[in-house]
Structure 1
């Protein structure tokens, strides 16, 4: 078994299989391409989530009578810790790509690398952090497409304006919403927030996270679909807890010191359910990801000289792309999130010198919760986490590779 790329050709080649809720997942700690000495890395395409940011929700104070920790930046802004951690990722990828002889150990040529970021502060600054450490002292352009504060490639807004689409999309989303079975998770969140003393309870008379109504909203062209109700409230609070933890706040300031490992596992199910309802119905995912999917498809199908392409976006981009491209279910060990900050889906195009065939390998490269919280610097000897991903339409071998031609055939069906 191998990791995304070769780290050190002669060191460990360790792999193990985890089974999580019935899903077998290959996890690679260290790796070697020694079993495939005849293959060469040709191109790498990366879709990344931005780094650690301040919480997004502006109504957190209404959810609890407790005082939230202070942040020194606006909601949704990349933090100094986020810059540091994304820089670690950039430096690591630079070392790795140099090790595979894809990029030189000096400044790459302009045509060899393409960096493209969404227009949000957190994505632009994340791209800068990656580039500044990966290619220190080099003049690397970070491309943007600003259409009045919106980039249509990254914007997860609905494109289909038909009433039939809206009706079917709502049906599929409510179908996801109905079987919640998350009473224990809601109870934990109610206790952590002291929810019955919150403004939402005392003023709006919304006091029971288990029985209050979840309503799907904004399923119309130009809007990002959303939920109003307990699931949205919990997801917003959990987002704040997660960012507090990543930022390295003292444990008594992360969810007011009430988090245990079992509680993390309980409450994260609320966040996963929220994202499943919003992004993971096939109809919605394909519509929301259409511009990004077309962008990636054009990159994959058009032969070009760019060796490394990095797109810096959001978890919504990752969720919708994974669903619309029919990835098999996956699990990220040592992480609570399925699309953690600074995590990257890495598409690698390899060439088999003996068989004269191009191969594809897809990996999720991410930092564990501990690596993020502790601010652990990455290196070839202390790498991030790797999980091999698989498409339903491109069967992989026992080392995680599938035929590039099969991938291309699949892309033509999208």
Structure 2
């Protein structure tokens, strides 16, 4: 127990120090691009549908399926306020410059509302103008295939996914036996898996691993992991929203039980979306736009006014997952699975000019912990969100912050997209 406590304290110390650790005397922060997942939303499925997979009633969110909740908005504003404090301290933001931050969101209620909520904290006193492609249109940043800016090679994409599991999902799925048992016990509220079958209930054990022939460019799979993905995400959203499961008769639902079932969702997400051919198609256009925005002389694909010091892009967990897979970005945060993207989690790209005159890109993943989400904990420089500095393969150097020379970062992005 003492060792665990020491390791936890060490991890916390790293996460707290991460945003400021890389800054050295004489370093100047010039530009920031934040790619964020939307905040806490209602489950995508109806409570009635979710209850076919659980023994106990499901909480009601009070907003339509998939919409940002009131708590989700408040949590995003807390995150925005933290960034305001951080970047004011680091000299990027000053005064009431309402043109300093440019906001872009996908055309869904939860992404637009998240961007507005972030802006309330990040741009206080300003009218937050959230830019989108317009209602009823398809945004190529988030759906490049449907928008016609990317053409998938479905056979190659499916091969790139299947090749990660030796062409068969059976052994891969079998490696998740402990998490499958934990989820069955949690959902069906029994003492030991497999829980008894119940009429009208869907069970995680009843799902056979298989690739889906009719899937789109992201490559679909069936099985316990796919079954668990939507259910565990709904559990996460309800927990982060502060829902009272105990009053509905649920037992043993806490952070520890969530951590035991998170691997199923993350395994499914990682397999489908971080495979390189899938990620290249799904995130290549986005990566090029982010690169253009970070360049000292913004290219034609740069987002926002070139004078804007920050660009905030709000999308979905798949958005971050595919970009991470494309560039080989890996991260971890206490309480979550490696590369897991919790509500409001974001990838931060910063362009710094070091004291030696070299411009570098520093990347990190930042996220509110489960406790910070559920308790709506204010975020401050003394009590920040969790942060994970990211090493960019083929680019980053040793040292705090994993500096990635800007010219090399451009070559890595262009190379990844071109492949």
Give the TM-score category using the shorter length: 0.7 to 0.9
Q: Map of 1:28-43 to 2, 5 A cutoff?
A: 28-29=16-17, 32=20, 36-43=24-31
Match of 2:413 in 1: 411
2:234 — aligned with what?
Answer: 240
Aligned partners of 1:142, 1:218: CA distance in 2, in Å? 38
Distance 1:402 1:265, change over 3 A: same
The 1:397/1:74 distance shift into structure 2, 3 A limit, reads: same
1:214 and 2:209 are equivalent in the alignment: yes
Q: State the SS of the aligned residue for 1:52.
A: coil
The equivalent residue for 2:351 is 349
Shift in alpha-carbon separation, 1:294–1:200, aligned structure 2, 3 A: farther
Residue 312 of structure 2 is aligned to residue 310 of structure 1: yes
Alpha-carbon RMSD across the aligned residues, in angstroms, is 2.9
- 8 Å CA contact retained: 1:45, 1:309: yes
The answer to whether the 8 A contact 1:116-1:143 is kept is yes
Q: CA deviation at 1:381?
A: 2.6
Q: Quote the residue 1:394 is aligned against.
A: 395
Q: Is the 8 A contact 2:105 2:132 kept in 1?
A: yes
Report Cα offsets for 1:123-158 as digits up to 9, x if no partner: 000000011222222133211013735322112758
- The structure in which a higher percent of residues are strand is 1
Can you list the C-alpha shifts for 1:351-373, whole angstroms capped at 9, x where unaligned? Answer: 123x2111221111211111111
Q: Describe the shift of the 1:260–1:127 C-alpha distance in structure 2 as closer, same or farther (beyond 3 A).
A: closer
| Change beyond 3 A, Cα 1:342–1:130 | same
Taking the aligned partners of 1:161 and 1:31, their CA distance within structure 2 comes to 37
The corresponding residue for 1:7 is none
Residue 268 of structure 1 aligns with which residue? 262
Whether 1:299 aligns to 2:290 is no
Which of 30, 41, 46 is the aligned partner of 1:53? Answer: 41
* SS of aligned partner of 2:352: strand
The farther-off stretch of 46-55 and 397-406 is 397-406
Name the residue aligned to 1:91.
Answer: 81
Taking the aligned partners of 1:228 and 1:385, their CA distance within structure 2 comes to 32
- 2:94 and 2:55 map into 1 onto residues whose CA distance is 55
Mark the runs of 5 or more structure 1 residues left unpaired by the alignment: 1-14, 20-24, 202-206
Contact 1:170 1:219 (C-alpha < 8 Å) held by counterparts: no
Aligned counterparts of 2:181 and 2:76: Cα–Cα separation in 1:
35
2:322 aligned partner? 320
3-state SS in 1 of match to 2:311: strand
Does the CA contact (< 8 Å) of 2:107 and 2:135 recur in 1?
A: no
> What secondary structure does 1:54 align onto?
coil
Aligned to 1:66, the other structure's residue is in SS state coil
Match of 2:169 in 1: 177
Name whichever structure is richer in helix by fraction: 2
- Name the CA shift for 1:105/1:132 in 2 (closer, same or farther; >3 Å): same
Does the 8 A contact of 1:115 with 1:127 survive in 2? yes
What SS does the aligned partner of 2:15 have? strand
The aligned counterpart of 1:374 is: 375
**Residues 43-192 of structure 1 mapped to structure 2, 5 A cutoff:** 43-58=31-46, 59-109=49-99, 112-146=100-134, 148-155=136-143, 159-162=150-153, 164-165=155-156, 167-169=158-160, 171-172=162-163, 175=166, 177-178=169-170, 179-180=172-173, 181-192=175-186
TM-score by length of 2: 0.82
Displacement after TM superposition at 1:243 (Å): 1.2
Whether the 8 Å CA contact 1:166–1:219 is kept in 2: the answer is no
Give the Cα–Cα distance (whole angstroms) in 2 for the partners of residues 32 and 169 of structure 1. Answer: 38
Change (3 A) 1:364 1:198: farther
TM-score, scaled to structure 1:
0.83
SS of 1:133 mapped into structure 2 = helix
Aligned residues: 384
CA distance 1:64–1:316, change in 2 (3 Å): same
Instruction: Describe the shift of the 1:80–1:218 C-alpha distance in structure 2 as closer, same or farther (beyond 3 A).
Output: farther
Q: Distance in 2 between matches of 1:297 and 1:171?
A: 30
After TM superposition, give the deviation of residue 377 of structure 1 in Å.
Answer: 0.9
